[in-house]
């Protein structure tokens, strides 16, 4: 009896490890394959008998991507700069605006407060994929009216990224502002601290982690965004961001898989790094309250 | 610290007057929140609210390139909606969208839950290692994921076809290196499903793991004392405790999978092949990849899609709004 039990347990454990290994391989294989393709010489890529591991490591694809010979007239560095401008810019903006709005929502009771919150929750649900046509038309007209170019140019994409990030960042930062004990502020006020002092010395240090998490969230979303950038920037290669440049390489006559995988690696690295920081919050943020404790 | 304090020594009473002449502290207090939300509100209104209204408006008018250039748009008496709802092509795309979405959601939820349960049983080192693996898949940018799957299933040099060809013919047949996975919906959609599930099951797994960890151990102990077997305590403790989490995950997955665009765009090599269109790519195609573009029709379908998404997310929204009120 005891032996049967032990055997079952051992089998169960082996099974669990085997299953875990299978899931692990399923999860990492495509990521591995990106790297493996990016790092092996072209001869090893275009073969009918590819090997699992590169026989030779080369950085030629990375060089081809960064030197811009892949598609003449384009430059990886300009794509990277565009991506950085539009992402960092929109993140900073969204962080600022959401900090202000979060303080309003967390610290004041005003008439339109719940309307505002419900608006944020609902807007967050409206799919950009559905909105894309009117978004384009709106910016086209807005640009015409204001006599600035919003389509075919990074500024439009930038504004869209700010707006798309706002609902989630406001709600996230709001939770952090809520968590700052009011007594702390009151005590400081009694000690004669001004509004600004209270803000910088008491509120900010406690809200900063939330602001950082929300910003990283917004960063990842904007950095990866494809549809809006593709729709707005299609005709202006100079304004391409990294994700659409990948698509552009991809559309070339003969697909250079090595270079595409190299470019893909370069796109992925910053996301992976940031992801490490917010992974846990990502889960709790999206399923807030469903998990108690 | 002292420095800052000294700079702001003015007392409570005279500070407001200095900063905001003409407004009593009370009025300031009343207006302050509106000033604070104003910038965010303006951005949201211009970028999202207005286009939502515009989407509705355009869907009710004949709207094409000319109207984009400034010509008056004509009211068309729900013509787009009537056309769409009687259009066989729309319904076939609609059906495909539902089927593909259901397949993605079912697989993501099942696999994610199983992996979450598995991680809960593994020792720490193993579950951490597996967690890192999951994170790699989850963190991969969507565009990179789509492209690597396109490469894995590439006709001539793709890993999958070369492996299939190296396997014995009696097992899998031959000629795989001439087989194009992306030409027909029967093979493209399954690959799309795998691509999407690969990226989305880690989120479910990690959420379920967090949920499992939050269930108090006493509950299982009580179940054991009452004589419940492992299976029974799973059904009577784990499942009820995680039900709210599952409901939320399910809704989020449905909405996310309903919106799939980039992966399909890459795998199908654009949006022109209507055979393999789903609602988001169909909207895009009507708006930006047909000559002439039909913004009106595209918007009508976009409205239908938005309504569907909002209906599906109603429960999620209700939960979130209730929490706000609590």
What are the pLDDT digits (tens) for B245-257?
A: 999 899 999 999 9
Give the model's pLDDT for residue B1. Answer: 36
Rounded to the nearest integer, the mean pLDDT of chain B is 89
Interface probe, candidates B5, B17, B18, B33, chain A, greatest A C-beta count within 10 A: B33
Q: Provide, as residue numbers in chain A, all residues whose Cβ is less than 8 Å from the Cβ of B245.
A: 287, 290-291
**How high is the pLDDT of residue B12?**
47
pLDDT at B59: 96
Is A70 within 8 Å of A249 (Cβ atoms)?
yes
Q: Delimit the domains of chain B by residue range.
A: 16-75, 81-325
Say if residue B164's pLDDT is above 50: yes
Please say whether the beta carbons of A137 and B58 come within 8 A. Answer: yes
B314 touching A (Cβ < 8 Å) = no
Residue B2 reports pLDDT greater than 50: no
Question: What integer is the mean pLDDT of B280-287?
Answer: 96
CA-to-CA distance for B323 and B276, rounded, in angstroms? Answer: 40
d(CA A136, CA B290): 15
Residue numbers in B near A288 (CB within 8 A): 320, 323
Q: How far apart are CA B57 and CA B72, in angstroms?
A: 13
Asked if A133 lies within 8 A of B10 by C-beta distance, the reply is no
Per-residue pLDDT at B16 exceeds 70 = no
Measured between beta carbons, the chain A residues lying within 8 angstroms of B317 are 121-122, 125
List, for residues B60-108, the tens digit of each pLDDT value. 999 998 888 888 888 988 999 999 999 999 999 999 999 999 999 999 9
Nearest to A108 among B33, B198, B295 (CB): B33
Asked if the model's pLDDT at residue B314 lies above 80, the reply is yes
Q: Compute the nearest-CA separation of B262 from chain A (Å).
A: 7
Q: Are residues A23 and B245, on separate chains, in Cβ contact within 8 Å? A: no
CA distance B167 to B165: 5
Look at residue B14 and tell me whether its pLDDT is greater than 80: no
pLDDT of residue B27: 80
Predicted pLDDT of residue A200: 87
What local confidence, expressed as pLDDT, does residue A12 receive?
83
Is any Cβ of chain A less than 8 angstroms from the Cβ of B309? yes
User: What is the b/e burial string over B245-259, where b = at least 16 CB atoms within 10 angstroms of the residue's CB?
Assistant: bbebbbbbbbbbbbb
Given B36, B214, B310, which is nearest A292 (Cβ)? B214
How many other CB atoms are there within 10 angstroms of residue B46's CB atom? 15
Q: How confident is the model at residue B37 (pLDDT cuts 50, 70, 90)?
A: very high
Residue B79 · residue A139 · CB < 8 Å: no
Q: Give residue B309's pLDDT.
A: 95
Query: Nearest Cβ partner of B147 from A48, A97, A264?
Result: A264
Residue numbers in chain A where pLDDT is lower than 70: 1, 251-253, 279-293
pLDDT at residue B198, rounded to an integer: 97
Nearest C-alpha neighbor of B81 from the set B58, B111, B97: B58
Predicted-complex ipTM score: 0.89
- Give the pLDDT score at B291: 85
In angstroms, rounded to a whole number, what is the distance separating the alpha carbons of residues A232 and A219? 19
Q: Does B262 touch chain A (CB under 8 A)?
A: yes
CATH code that applies to domain B81-325: 1.10.3720.10
Nearest to B99 by CA among B192, B223, B24: B192
B92 contact A CB<8A: no
**What is the pLDDT, as a whole number, of residue A128?**
96
Q: Tell me, what's the pLDDT at A277?
A: 74
What pLDDT score was predicted for residue A119? Answer: 93
| Percent of chain B predicted with pLDDT > 70 | 93
Could you tell me how many residues make up chain B? 326
Are B191 and B267 in contact by the 8 Å Cβ rule? The answer is: yes
Asked if A136 lies within 8 A of B148 by C-beta distance, the reply is no
> Is the per-residue pLDDT at B3 higher than 90?
no
The pLDDT value recorded for residue B22 is 67
Residues 175-204 of B with CB under 8 A from A: 177, 198, 202-203
The residue extents of the domains of chain A are: 2-58, 74-286
Name B74's bridge partners: B62
Give A50's DSSP letter.
-
Residue A43 contacts B where some CB pair is shorter than 8 Å = no
* Beta bridge pairs of residue B75: B61
Q: Architecture of A74-286 per CATH?
A: Orthogonal Bundle (1.10)
For residue B310, the model assigns a pLDDT of 95
Of A16, A98, A291, the CB nearest to B210: A291
Report the pLDDT value the prediction gives residue B4, as an integer from 0 to 100: 41
């Amino acid at each position: 009896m005891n032996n049967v039990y032990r055997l079952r347990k051992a089998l169960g454990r082996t099974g669990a490890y085997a299953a875990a290994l299978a899931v692990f391989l399923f999860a990492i294989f495509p990521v591995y394959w990106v790297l493996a393709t990016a790092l092996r010489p072209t001869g090893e890529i275009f073969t009918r008998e590819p090997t699992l591991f590169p026989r030779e490591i080369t950085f030629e694809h990375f060089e081809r991507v960064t030197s811009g010979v892949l598609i003449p007239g384009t430059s990886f560095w300009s794509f990277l700069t565009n991506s950085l401008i539009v992402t960092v810019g929109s993140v900073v903006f969204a962080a600022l605006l959401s900090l202000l709005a979060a303080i309003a929502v967390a610290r004041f009771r005003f008439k339109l407060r719940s309307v505002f919150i419900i608006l944020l929750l609902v807007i967050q649900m409206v799919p950009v994929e559905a909105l894309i046509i009117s978004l384009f038309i709106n910016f086209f007209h807005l640009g015409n009216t204001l006599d600035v170019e919003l389509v075919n140019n990074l500024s439009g994409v930038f504004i869209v990224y700010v707006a798309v990030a706002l609902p989630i960042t406001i709600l996230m930062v709001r939770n952090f502002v809520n968590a700052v004990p009011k007594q702390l502020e009151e005590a400081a006020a009694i000690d004669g601290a001004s509004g600004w002092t209270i803000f910088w010395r008491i509120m900010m240090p406690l809200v900063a982690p939330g602001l950082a998490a929300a910003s990283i969230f917004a960063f990842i979303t904007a950095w990866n965004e494809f549809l809006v950038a593709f729709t707005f920037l299609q005709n202006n290669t100079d304004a391409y961001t990294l994700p659409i440049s990948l698509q552009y390489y991809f559309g070339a006559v003969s697909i250079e898989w090595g270079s595409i995988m190299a470019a893909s690696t370069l796109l992925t690295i910053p996301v992976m790094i940031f992801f490490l920081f917010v992974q846990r919050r990502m889960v709790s943020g999206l399923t807030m309250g469903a998990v108690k404790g | 610290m002292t420095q800052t304090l000294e700079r702001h020594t003015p007392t409570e009473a005279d500070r407001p007057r200095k900063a905001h002449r003409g407004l009593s502290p009370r009025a300031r207090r009343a207006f302050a929140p509106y000033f604070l939300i104003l910038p965010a509100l303006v951005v949201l209104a211009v970028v999202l609210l207005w286009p939502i209204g515009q989407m509705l408006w355009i869907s009710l008018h004949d709207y094409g390139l000319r109207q984009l250039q400034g010509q008056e748009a004509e009211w068309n008496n729900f013509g787009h909606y009537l056309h769409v709802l009687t259009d066989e092509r729309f319904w076939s795309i609609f059906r495909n969208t539902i089927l593909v979405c259901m397949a993605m959601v079912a697989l993501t939820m099942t696999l994610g839950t199983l992996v979450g349960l598995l991680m809960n049983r593994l020792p720490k080192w193993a579950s951490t290692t597996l967690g890192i693996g999951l994170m790699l898949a989850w963190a991969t940018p969507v565009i990179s994921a789509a492209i690597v799957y396109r490469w894995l299933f590439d006709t001539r040099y793709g890993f999958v076809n070369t492996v299939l060809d190296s396997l014995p013919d009696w097992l899998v047949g031959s000629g795989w290196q001439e087989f194009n996975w992306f030409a027909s919906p029967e093979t493209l959609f399954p690959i799309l499903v795998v691509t999407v599930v690969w990226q989305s099951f880690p989120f479910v797994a990690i959420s379920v793991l967090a949920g499992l960890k939050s269930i108090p151990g006493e509950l299982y102990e009580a179940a054991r004392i009452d004589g419940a077997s492992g299976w029974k305590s799973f059904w009577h403790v784990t499942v009820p405790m995680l039900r709210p989490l599952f409901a939320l995950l399910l809704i989020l997955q449905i909405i996310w999978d309903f919106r799939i665009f980039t992966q399909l765009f890459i795998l199908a090599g654009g949006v022109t092949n209507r055979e393999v269109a789903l609602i988001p790519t169909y909207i895009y195609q009507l708006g930006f990849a047909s000559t002439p573009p039909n913004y009106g029709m595209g918007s009508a379908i976009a409205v239908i899609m938005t309504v569907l998404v909002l209906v599906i997310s109603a429960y999620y929204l209700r939960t979130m709004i209730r929490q706000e009120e609590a």
